[in-house]
């Protein structure tokens, strides 16, 4: 007789997205079963960059500094033509005062998975490896999944919800019957991890460009460990054939035109670039996250980071619903917020990918003659660097137009409902240190004339421990960021996005906001 396991959430896939979801559910005290058909965490580096918004998420669970210590901070990018430097992009202090992590970090997928998996194990949870999803059914009461292990043994898992984090070829998506519309670039690309002797500046990405080809050369931690990502236009009519590494090596050397000696090939692969997304991130009690829901070009290293943020967005909503603090309607906002983000991301990465990789003459002209000078010039200015940083780091993502963002009181503020909570220091410490708990956060910014001490007991009486409370002085930096010197309050969602901003002293607007979806204690 098959065993039946009951849990709260079934997580299909233990890549960065699935592991991130599991780690977040631990914060909310939610039980889960997570499994993957792989033998264990990947040994391949695959996705490369971890951006500031992801590091802020990691920081809440004490993992950010481990990632930084295990990665390589990018200092600059050097563009080259015919073996000569044609431009530089300065990434040092890239994010200025926007984030406690104002840089791009090379911290590859294998390291992310190991970091998250170790955290999972430290908290007494495990992944069922070499296990795949064979079937699933759902009704108004829950989800039933049949799992099959490598030895052909099956088990049944029953849960309230299921989340498919099982990649671009998602079995979950297939079983739910969801389409995955988009396109494929009819060109051949390659990726390779190598160890090589190469005279290079520390923390520098090299970008040699040819007439119709390019290669990005990324520094990995360890000094002699490098990653190649490039295209092979001479094989565009043979995109289904396998490349030999000698062809990749010859292409890199012809573009770089500098001395290098490859001493070890860790792994390499050729691939086609796809850009696709589902039309809904949810289907009944089942959800999709990460590559199962959207895939796009590798420009900007957005894929892995976006999947981690999908999980972050969904976890707090599932947590509140399963703990009885909110109704099922809250879960509808996951699709609302993350599908809109995926569509914007695909559009922007597609456009930039055309600039980088297109064989159209006008894009080639722009790459060769205009881009180097523009990039070098623009990144000399702090405001321009911060603007670019907000896009690449995904800090600029907002939910302003979505239903959980209430704008009645934010008309006179620079920051709006739906924005990520801005970063600044409070008594010399990171403001996010006050926002680690998995709950709502009410922040009152005070001019010192009122202590607001009466609000805390009222909050606790109405909402128990669902909301924490902090009074913060109106520092000059706060006034500059928010655009007012008057006292005000901000309600943050558990994912540290702003629900509303108000100058009202009472809790009436907070109660009106939460009454829309939160069940009182």
Q: How high is the pLDDT of residue 354?
A: 53
Instruction: Judge if 148 and 281 occupy the same domain.
Output: yes
Q: How high is the pLDDT of residue 363?
A: 44
Residue range 242-267, pLDDT digits in tens: 889 999 999 999 999 999 999 999 99
Q: How high is the pLDDT of residue 362?
A: 42
Residue 428 tokens, joined = 């010399």
Instruction: Judge if 173 and 222 occupy the same domain.
Output: no
Question: Interhelix angle for 16-27 vs 303-322, to 10°?
Answer: 30
Chain centroid to Cα 415, Å, comes to 22
How many whole angstroms separate alpha carbon 213 and alpha carbon 194? 20
**Residue 349 confidence (pLDDT) above 80:** no
Instruction: Judge if 282 and 167 occupy the same domain.
Output: yes
Q: How high is the pLDDT of residue 197?
A: 94
Q: Which residue has the higher pLDDT, 3 or 178?
A: 178
Domain CATH for 501: 3.40.30.10
How many whole angstroms separate alpha carbon 95 and alpha carbon 277? 29
Q: How high is the pLDDT of residue 343?
A: 80
Domain CATH for 390: 3.30.9.10
* Residue the block writes with tokens 């890549």: 15
Q: How high is the pLDDT of residue 493?
A: 97
Among 273, 271, 279, 418, residue whose Cα is nearest residue 349: 273
pLDDT interval class at 361 (50, 70, 90)? very low
Phi/psi-derived region of residue 228, left when phi > 0, alpha when psi is between -120 and 50, beta in every other case: beta
Instruction: Judge if 167 and 259 occupy the same domain.
Output: no
Q: How high is the pLDDT of residue 144?
A: 98
Q: What is the CA radius of gyration of the chain?
A: 24
**Residue 381 confidence (pLDDT) above 70:** no
pLDDT interval class at 448 (50, 70, 90)? confident
Instruction: Judge if 378 and 509 occupy the same domain.
Output: no
* 35-39, 272-276, 475-479: least confident range: 272-276
Domain CATH for 125: 3.50.50.60
Q: How high is the pLDDT of residue 454?
A: 85
Residue range 313-337, pLDDT digits in tens: 999 999 999 999 999 999 999 999 9
Can you say whether the dihedral through the CA atoms of 173, 15, 183, 105 is positive or negative? positive
Instruction: Judge if 51 and 126 occupy the same domain.
Output: yes
Instruction: Judge if 221 and 289 occupy the same domain.
Output: no
Structural domain harbouring 60 = 4-71+107-183+275-350
How many whole angstroms separate alpha carbon 67 and alpha carbon 403? 34
> What's the number of domains the chain is made of?
3
Question: What mean pLDDT is predicted for residues 185-203?
Answer: 87
Task: Annotate 436-450 with DSSP letters as a single string.
Answer: -SSSEEEEEEE-SS-
Instruction: Judge if 322 and 284 occupy the same domain.
Output: yes
Instruction: Judge if 373 and 263 occupy the same domain.
Output: yes
Residue range 108-150, pLDDT digits in tens: 999 999 999 999 999 999 999 999 999 999 999 999 999 999 9
DSSP lists the bridge partners of residue 431 as none
Q: How high is the pLDDT of residue 514?
A: 92
How many whole angstroms separate alpha carbon 407 and alpha carbon 6? 41
**Residue 425 confidence (pLDDT) above 80:** yes
- Coil, helix or strand for 127? strand
Q: What is the mean pLDDT of the chain?
A: 88
Q: How high is the pLDDT of residue 464?
A: 87
Are 149 and 131 contacting, i.e. CB atoms less than 8 angstroms apart? yes
Among 273, 299, 287, 387, residue whose Cα is nearest residue 339: 287
Q: How high is the pLDDT of residue 176?
A: 97
pLDDT interval class at 372 (50, 70, 90)? low
């Amino acid at each position: 007789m098959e065993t039946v396991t009951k849990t709260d959430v079934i997580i299909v896939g233990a890549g960065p997205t699935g592991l991130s979801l599991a780690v977040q559910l631990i914060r909310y005290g939610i039980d889960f079963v997570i499994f993957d058909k792989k033998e264990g965490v990947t040994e391949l580096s695959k996705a490369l960059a971890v951006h500031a918004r992801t590091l802020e998420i990691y920081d809440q669970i004490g993992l950010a500094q481990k990632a930084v210590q295990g990665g390589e901070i990018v200092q600059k990018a050097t563009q080259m033509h015919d073996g000569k430097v044609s431009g530089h992009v300065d990434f040092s202090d890239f994010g200025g005062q926007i984030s406690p992590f104002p840089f791009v970090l090379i911290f590859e997928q294998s390291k992310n998975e190991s970091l998250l998996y170790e955290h999972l194990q430290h908290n007494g949870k495990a992944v069922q490896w070499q296990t795949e999803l064979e079937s699933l059914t759902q009704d108004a009461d829950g989800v039933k999944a049949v799992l099959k292990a490598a030895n052909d043994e099956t088990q049944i898992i029953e849960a309230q919800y299921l989340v498919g984090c099982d990649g671009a070829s998602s079995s979950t998506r297939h079983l739910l019957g969801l389409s995955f519309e988009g396109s494929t670039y009819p060109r051949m690309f390659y990726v390779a991890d190598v160890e090589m002797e190469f005279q290079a500046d520390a923390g520098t990405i090299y970008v040699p460009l040819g007439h119709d080809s390019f290669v990005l050369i990324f520094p990995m931690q360890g000094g002699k460990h490098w990653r190649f990502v490039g295209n092979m236009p001479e094989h565009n009519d043979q995109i289904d054939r396998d490349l030999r590494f000698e062809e990749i090596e010859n292409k890199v050397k012809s573009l770089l035109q500098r001395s290098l000696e490859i001493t070890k090939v860790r792994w390499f692969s050729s691939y086609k670039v796809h850009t696709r997304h589902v039309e809904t991130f949810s289907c009944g009690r089942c959800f999709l996250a990460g590559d199962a829901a959207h895939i796009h070009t590798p420009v900007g290293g957005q894929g892995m980071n976006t999947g981690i943020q999908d999980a972050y967005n969904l976890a707090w909503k599932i947590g509140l619903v399963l703990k009885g603090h909110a109704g099922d309607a809250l879960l509808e906002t996951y699709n609302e917020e993350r599908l809109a983000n995926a569509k914007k991301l695909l559009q922007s990465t597609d456009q930039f990918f055309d600039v980088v990789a297109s064989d159209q003459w006008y894009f080639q002209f722009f790459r060769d003659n205009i881009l180097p000078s523009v990039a070098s010039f623009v990144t000399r200015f702090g405001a321009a660097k911060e603007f670019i940083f907000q896009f690449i780091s995904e800090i600029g993502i907002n939910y302003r137009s979505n239903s959980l963002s209430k704008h009645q009181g934010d008309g006179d503020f620079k920051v709006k409902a739906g924005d990520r909570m801005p970063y600044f220091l409070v008594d010399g410490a990171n403001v996010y240190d006050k926002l680690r708990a998995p709950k709502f956060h009410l922040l009152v910014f005070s001019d010192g004339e009122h202590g607001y001490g009466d609000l805390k007991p009222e909050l606790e009486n109405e909402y128990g421990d669902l909301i924490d409370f902090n009074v913060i002085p109106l520092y000059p930096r706060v006034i500059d960021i928010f655009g007012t010197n008057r006292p005000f309050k901000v309600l943050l969602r558990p994912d540290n996005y702003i629900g509303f901003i108000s100058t009202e002293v009472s809790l009436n607007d907070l109660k009106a906001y939460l009454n829309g979806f939160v069940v009182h204690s």
